[in-house]
Structure 1
Amino acid sequence: MTGQVRGVQLARLLGQWHALPGRRRSPDYAALAGAVRGLLADGRLPLGVRLPAERELAEALRISRTTVTAAYRQLRETGHLASRRGAGSWTMLPGNHRVASTGLWTPLDDREMIDLGVAALAAPPQLLAAARAAAEDLPRYLGGAGYHPTGIIELREAVADGYTARGLPTSADQIMVTSGTQHALDLVLRLALAPGGSVLVESPTYPNALAALAGRRARITTHGLAADAGGWESDLLLGSLRQTRPKLAYLIPEFQNPTGHLMPASLRERVVAAAHAVGTDLVIDESFVDLPLDGTELPPPTATFDRHSRVISIGGMSKPYWGGLRIGWVRASAPQVQRLAAVRVGVDMASPVLDQLVAVHLLADAKAIVADRRTQLAAQRDALLGALAHRLPDWRVTVPRGGVTLWAELDGPVSSALARAAEEVGVRLAPGPRFGLDGTLERFLRLPFTLPAADLVEAVGRIAAVRYDLDRTGRQRWREPAVIA
């Protein structure tokens, strides 16, 4: 169980539930049940939450208890609610579901789904050769226990060389290898953020980072990114640091996820200075740093401007190489790396040696692999932009200078409704509210360009059709798998 939602809280989440598309064609109880399923679908109402009593919700919504009773009955019939006399009613899922790679609940038979919820590429062809070479290297490690809390030396040196090549001198002692970038973030939060600590994040931001912060019960404040190519409003960002004085700030300066913005060097320097002045540690997510497009030149790494060990950089292999290779890293001062290793021993001890050896061979061939990835991504991005311009010309999209995602501003606050409708035609979307707090960002949608161009064009065609239907038909059809962010 994850707790209980009160009547006034659920009423606030439901918002204008009686004004949803198709409302005039549905009785009150059906519209209310549909709205609750909608909250499940966009992740604002998780599994195992006890809903308010019928009388309490009726008073909060200012409707009859009979309407709430009928809505709860329909939710039980569709498998979205379980009730026990005298104990209450809890949200749940219908049967035959699994958790997809996005963290969303999805049916078992979804092989034909075009999944735009995942912003990651398929494995490069060089991966098999790297795996074979790694297997040949493995015997020299088999005589030991296999535990390397900071990572094997070959990989730490390769990662450190990458930072040095970017203009940030780095030694292997400043690198800790992790099981992916998300694992790196989790370890940093365990070390640097006490439960309930204050954190500043961008809005929108990476949903799994928000999940990690929620796990630490962090008090989150946000800096809203502008929709245009500039992204960060420098005075507002620096003002937020000075006014809120957070313990941590989590930022994505290279091709920000999901907006694709690139933070200029001048702002990076000012952010580091402001963080030092107020005692804030900066966690810089560099997941997309290897993927500039159109010849975009990267500013210096944010840690270049750090003189007081205030910047902890995290990155990994998932975006430029393959998400199935769970290799990430932390770059920090050598003492911080040792403290992270001490924290890690209580979590997972070390990353797999074989995976690290695969990463060593891929990084040795990084120049060719990443060049191919950039060419592939640029072509797929242009195909997606062309399809959007043709089929959904009212949507506003800023062309990103790198990364793997578009952040589209829709022609109305319909992101969650569109995502639910798109599921019906075989397209999985990540609606805007998943990238923010409190159900905001309904006018936005993240669209990754990591799939083949033909799939992207087909997906846009299906999305355009259901977007048109949202205005024409009104009746909401609910796909059985509830989506939980």
Structure 2
Amino acid sequence: MSGLVRGGQLARLLGEWHALPARRRSPDYLALAGAVRGLLTDGRLALGVRLPAERELAEALGISRTTISAAYRELRDSGHLASRRGSGSWTTLPEGMRVGASGLWGPAPQAEAGIIDLSCAAPSAPPELVEAARAAVDDLPAYLGQVGYWPCGLDVLREVVADRYTARGLPTRPEQILITNGTQHALDLVIRLHVHPGAAVLTESPTYPGALAALAGARARIATYGLGHDGWDGELLLDTLRQTRPRLAYLVPEFQNPTGHLMPVKLREQLPAVAHSAGVDLVIDESFVDMHLFDDGATMPPPVAAFDRHSRVMTIGGLSKPYWGGMRIGWIRAAAPLVQRLAAVRVGVDMASPVLDQLVAVRLLAYGPEVVDARRPGLRARRDTLLKALAERLPEWRVSVPDGGLTLWAELDAPVSSALARAAESHGVRLAPGPRFGVDGTLERFLRLPFTLPEQDLVDAVDRIAAARFDLDRAPDRVIYAAEQALIA
């Protein structure tokens, strides 16, 4: 989002900004100010953006200009809005706020004591990482006599990644691999090459917020396909591709982020052919492909690219989810000529990935599946602990059991996800509200809950969320805001 946000745009972002029953509501101006603060905190509303004039926003929301004026005054008092007479009002944040690992704004580190952070779904590093790093240092001298720039990545790492695809039933040559600085970087390069301003891109809804941010930054026109409680409606998705004919379609078939769904084989088979006939390129995000939690001997379905006959599929993946977020190594698998075009785009962005990091990745991947296999029992236990705690404390919520990934996708008892996230902060829990995973203020009935923290932390977090949900029905926004400010101070 840039420069100026129009009244209609802000109204869509705000969504159901005052969803509580009238008898439990705080004054409209406080609820509106709290909703705008929430948009700023989770990044859906950028900093330095000029908000609509009071009259324009009042018309867009169907409320009085007096309410808008009071809400803007509340935001100025809290440090979330800066105004200059005759020039308008711009979004800002109070002193002491900083961007966290999940992209959400939060208090400075000294104010973080006691916070249980459920806004980010990422595991800690495995013990093998230290050994891999030490071995990589021994490998480094062989590369020090050269310039240090390998835009496509080190050949040794490209070969290892290619072999991993071949082992999954997708024959791959090293020339088909481009090493990147993480999966987000891989997606950014694909977007830079394929998407021009105004181009249509189809995503699932809900989907990964980083993808939405990258597409918004490229000024793409985002269309969405809604996932159901049980996952994809195959015919509907294929019909959507045929009818909308987007430039790209970004999909997450393996333990979809955030729902955890696993795409069935039949749909995987059909997607590339339909995409080719519609002139659509597919970006398949395999960030969670290694994170299955099967305990019944089930096996993973083939990659979507295994059914590609026309080079329509670009597969992206990386080490962040199965290994560690601090390993900023990702990749793109595509046709070899396309890899060279992507590398040419990449040179104008960051030249190449760090050599030492790539060597660490080679050593870490040499352990094979043992590293991830060792994580599975703990992840299953944490998932089940979180499910049990939710069933006991918040039985009205509807939560399906994913067969993999790192998160639960919970359907709430009311469209209060953003308000709940603000209230939970005052109880010492940081949440990523459902609308972060969609566009234009939708998904207020949903919440993503990672199960990567220790079991006791997950139980404590659910206790605090349940308390926040109870408070939400009886406490006005001013009480919630006062607690937020106490955390910042």
On whether the aligned pair clears a TM of 0.5, the verdict is yes
| Alignment correspondent of 1:236 | 236
Shift of 1:446: 0.6
Q: Residue 133 in 1 paired to residue 135 in 2?
A: yes
Match of 1:342, as an amino acid? A
Q: Secondary structure at the match of 2:98?
A: strand
Contact 2:34-2:477 at 8 Å conserved across structures: no
Map of 1:85-484 to 2, 5 A cutoff? 85-108=85-108, 109-228=111-230, 231-294=231-294, 295-476=297-478, 477-478=480-481, 479-480=484-485
Shift of 1:29: 4.1
Contact 1:282-1:312 at 8 Å conserved across structures: yes
Match of 2:385, as an amino acid? A
More deviation, 270-279/41-50: 41-50
Structure 1 CA distance, aligned partners of 2:277 and 2:486?
Answer: 48
Shift of 1:437: 0.8
Structure 2 CA distance, aligned partners of 1:159 and 1:324?
Answer: 19
Structure 1 CA distance, aligned partners of 2:13 and 2:289?
Answer: 37
Match of 1:132, as an amino acid? R
Contact 2:35-2:418 at 8 Å conserved across structures: no
Contact 2:132-2:363 at 8 Å conserved across structures: yes
Shift of 1:36: 3.2
Indicate the percent of aligned positions where both proteins have the same amino acid. 71
Structure 1's 58 and 150: CA in aligned 2 closer, same or farther, altered over 3 A?
Answer: closer
Structure 1's 121 and 22: CA in aligned 2 closer, same or farther, altered over 3 A?
Answer: farther
Cα distance per residue 1:244-293 (max 9 Å; x no partner): 11111111111100011111111111111101111111111011111111
Contact 1:41-1:482 at 8 Å conserved across structures: no
More deviation, 176-185/111-120: 111-120
| Alignment correspondent of 2:78 | 78
Structure 1's 379 and 460: CA in aligned 2 closer, same or farther, altered over 3 A?
Answer: same
More deviation, 283-292/47-56: 47-56
More deviation, 188-197/78-87: 188-197
Contact 1:23-1:475 at 8 Å conserved across structures: no
Structure 1's 208 and 23: CA in aligned 2 closer, same or farther, altered over 3 A?
Answer: farther
Contact 1:178-1:184 at 8 Å conserved across structures: yes
Q: Secondary structure at the match of 2:179?
A: strand
Shift of 1:80: 1.2
Contact 1:23-1:31 at 8 Å conserved across structures: no
Structure 1's 162 and 89: CA in aligned 2 closer, same or farther, altered over 3 A?
Answer: same
Match of 2:328, as an amino acid? R
| Alignment correspondent of 1:36 | 36
Structure 2 CA distance, aligned partners of 1:263 and 1:48?
Answer: 40
Cα distance per residue 1:391-449 (max 9 Å; x no partner): 11111111111111111111111111111111111111111100011110111111111
Shift of 1:13: 4.7
Structure 1's 69 and 469: CA in aligned 2 closer, same or farther, altered over 3 A?
Answer: closer
Shift of 1:18: 6.0
Structure 1 CA distance, aligned partners of 2:394 and 2:220?
Answer: 38
Match of 1:377, as an amino acid? L
Structure 1's 417 and 58: CA in aligned 2 closer, same or farther, altered over 3 A?
Answer: closer
More deviation, 26-35/231-240: 26-35
Structure 2 CA distance, aligned partners of 1:138 and 1:82?
Answer: 51
Structure 1 CA distance, aligned partners of 2:335 and 2:77?
Answer: 56
Contact 2:16-2:415 at 8 Å conserved across structures: no
Contact 1:120-1:450 at 8 Å conserved across structures: yes
Q: Secondary structure at the match of 1:4?
A: coil
With structure 1 as the length reference, what TM-score do the two structures score?
0.94
Shift of 1:39: 3.7
Structure 1's 169 and 50: CA in aligned 2 closer, same or farther, altered over 3 A?
Answer: same
Shift of 1:91: 1.4
Contact 1:94-1:481 at 8 Å conserved across structures: no
Shift of 1:149: 0.7
Structure 1's 326 and 387: CA in aligned 2 closer, same or farther, altered over 3 A?
Answer: same
Shift of 1:34: 3.4
Structure 1 CA distance, aligned partners of 2:191 and 2:486?
Answer: 32
| Alignment correspondent of 2:50 | 50
Structure 2 CA distance, aligned partners of 1:434 and 1:195?
Answer: 22
With structure 2 as the length reference, what TM-score do the two structures score?
0.93
Structure 2 CA distance, aligned partners of 1:16 and 1:299?
Answer: 39
Structure 2 CA distance, aligned partners of 1:59 and 1:213?
Answer: 29
Structure 2 CA distance, aligned partners of 1:378 and 1:41?
Answer: 31
Structure 1's 285 and 26: CA in aligned 2 closer, same or farther, altered over 3 A?
Answer: closer
Structure 1's 301 and 11: CA in aligned 2 closer, same or farther, altered over 3 A?
Answer: closer
Cα distance per residue 1:330-364 (max 9 Å; x no partner): 11111111111111111111100100010001100
Structure 1's 57 and 445: CA in aligned 2 closer, same or farther, altered over 3 A?
Answer: closer
Q: Secondary structure at the match of 1:2?
A: coil
Q: Secondary structure at the match of 2:203?
A: strand
Shift of 1:41: 4.0
Shift of 1:218: 1.1
Shift of 1:475: 4.5
Structure 2 CA distance, aligned partners of 1:410 and 1:232?
Answer: 21
Structure 2 CA distance, aligned partners of 1:66 and 1:474?
Answer: 19
Q: Secondary structure at the match of 2:50?
A: strand
Match of 2:407, as an amino acid? T
Shift of 1:62: 5.8
Contact 1:196-1:218 at 8 Å conserved across structures: yes
Q: Secondary structure at the match of 1:49?
A: coil
Contact 1:22-1:475 at 8 Å conserved across structures: no
Q: Secondary structure at the match of 2:284?
A: strand
Structure 1's 481 and 264: CA in aligned 2 closer, same or farther, altered over 3 A?
Answer: farther
Shift of 1:83: 1.1
Shift of 1:317: 0.2
Structure 2 CA distance, aligned partners of 1:352 and 1:254?
Answer: 28
Shift of 1:102: 0.9
Match of 2:123, as an amino acid? L
